[in-house]
Amino acid sequence: MKDGKTVTLAIESSCDETAAAVMSEGRGVLSNIISSQIDIHKQYGGVVPEIASRHHLTNINTVVDRAMEEADVSMDEVDMIGVTYGPGLVGALLIGLATAKAYALAAGKPLIGVHHIHGHICANYIEHRELEPPFMALVISGGHTNIVEVTGYNECRVLGATRDDAAGEAYDKVARVLGLGYPGGPLIDRIAKEGDPHAVEFKRVFLEKDSFDFSFSGIKTGVLNYINSEKQAGREVNVADVAAGFQAAVLDVIVAKTLRAAIDMGKDRIVLAGGVAANSRLREMMAEGCRKNGIDLYYPSPVLCTDNAAMIGCAAYYRYMAGERDDLTLDAIPNLEL
């Protein structure tokens, strides 16, 4: 065991990033290697599952080798293997899971399955060493928009979720309609800074009075209808204004519901997690809302917002310390619930 500390080898392959990390005591990053497929999927306007799986298969052993080499750790010094087993693309998940099982079996190490969303939340423990549960978490990415009450390192419950498109998915679809490209989140965030969020107003969808759920499919349709009507009228579409108006409508709802959840549940800390947690306007709005309500705000650096294995290693550590283990029958669950 390196320096007498618990060492985790972690693997993440739920979507289009092939990632491996070596962690010390759960929160210490010895290495964090990410092989992204963004440039490959750009030409298709989104992730193609079969292509993602094929590239995971090609890259994963090299990525793990790089993580072990950079950490200067041998397999003998590793205490456990952590791996994402859901949710995600089933073919992509299976590549990471099969690799983790192979290492666990060959080296005689415990296997710890990790929920991908739990991993995103745990990214904040890496960034903020002082952070401990309980708190309210907003997990916001291409596949998820969840308000999660975190009551312990391994205990949480979902208070609200998207009923259709995830926020990141809506960003990607609107970016495609606006001709901005893929991935849509950072592109819309960037161009929205040049636009007027009040120039084009889109409907805010809050659903039922006490609901913490989200719905973003309607706003996506609203953007498409607006663009079509402007083109039919022969008017030029101001892309920056549309992007700003769309982003304002989405984030107004997300911020309001997350703050209300924290206040209603008596939480004085809010944590952001997931790819869209890197959105600059979301951070600004949430920081302002937290300041007004006496709530502390935490979020990871951009590299820990994206899919990565360091967060999976952190989550695996806390399951390991609680005595939780998985065996080699652990299977990929693409629609795994939190």
| Cβ neighbours of 71 (radius 10 Å) | 23
pLDDT of residue 38: 66
Q: Give me the sign of the Cα torsion angle 267, 308, 337, 330.
A: negative
Q: Do you know the residue count of the chain?
A: 338
Do 224 and 200 fall within a single domain? Answer: yes
* pLDDT over threshold 50, residue 1: no
Cα angle 90, 46, 246 (rounded to 5 degrees) comes to 120
d(CA 109, CA 22): 14
Do 144 and 249 fall within a single domain? Answer: yes
Do 274 and 315 fall within a single domain? Answer: no
Range of the domain at 275: 133-300
Do 171 and 275 fall within a single domain? Answer: yes
Do 149 and 252 fall within a single domain? Answer: yes
Q: Is residue 15 part of a domain?
A: yes
CATH of the domain at 73: 3.30.420.40
Do 80 and 138 fall within a single domain? Answer: no
Q: Is residue 332 part of a domain?
A: no
Closest CA to 277 of 119, 86, 129: 119
d(CA 202, CA 175): 15
What is the pLDDT averaged over residues 131-156?
94
pLDDT of residue 244: 97
Do 96 and 184 fall within a single domain? Answer: no
pLDDT > 70 fraction of the chain, expressed in percent and rounded? 97
* pLDDT over threshold 80, residue 3: no
pLDDT tens for 102-119 read 999 999 999 999 999 999
Q: Is residue 168 part of a domain?
A: yes
Do 280 and 311 fall within a single domain? Answer: no
* pLDDT over threshold 90, residue 50: no
d(CA 54, CA 67): 20
Q: Is residue 127 part of a domain?
A: no
Q: Is residue 327 part of a domain?
A: no
Do 238 and 266 fall within a single domain? Answer: yes
pLDDT of residue 129: 94
Beta bridge partners of 214: 162
Give the rounded distance of the alpha carbon of 254 from its chain centre.
15
Q: pLDDT tier at 56 (50, 70, 90 boundaries)? A: confident
Do 195 and 146 fall within a single domain? Answer: yes
Q: Is residue 331 part of a domain?
A: no
Q: Is 143 helix (H, G, I), strand (E, B) or coil?
A: coil
pLDDT tens for 123-134 read 999 999 999 999
How many structural domains comprise the chain? 2
Do 114 and 137 fall within a single domain? Answer: no
Closest CA to 166 of 38, 46, 261: 46
Distances (CA, A) of 8 to 21, 64, 118: 8, 12, 16
Q: Is residue 334 part of a domain?
A: no
pLDDT tens for 192-236 read 999 999 999 999 999 998 999 999 999 989 999 999 999 999 999
pLDDT > 90 fraction of the chain, expressed in percent and rounded? 83
Side chain identity, residue 220: K
What is the pLDDT averaged over residues 329-335?
94
Q: Is residue 337 part of a domain?
A: no
d(CA 312, CA 94): 16
Do 290 and 312 fall within a single domain? Answer: no
pLDDT of residue 40: 67
pLDDT of residue 256: 97
| pTM of the predicted structure, to 2 decimals | 0.92
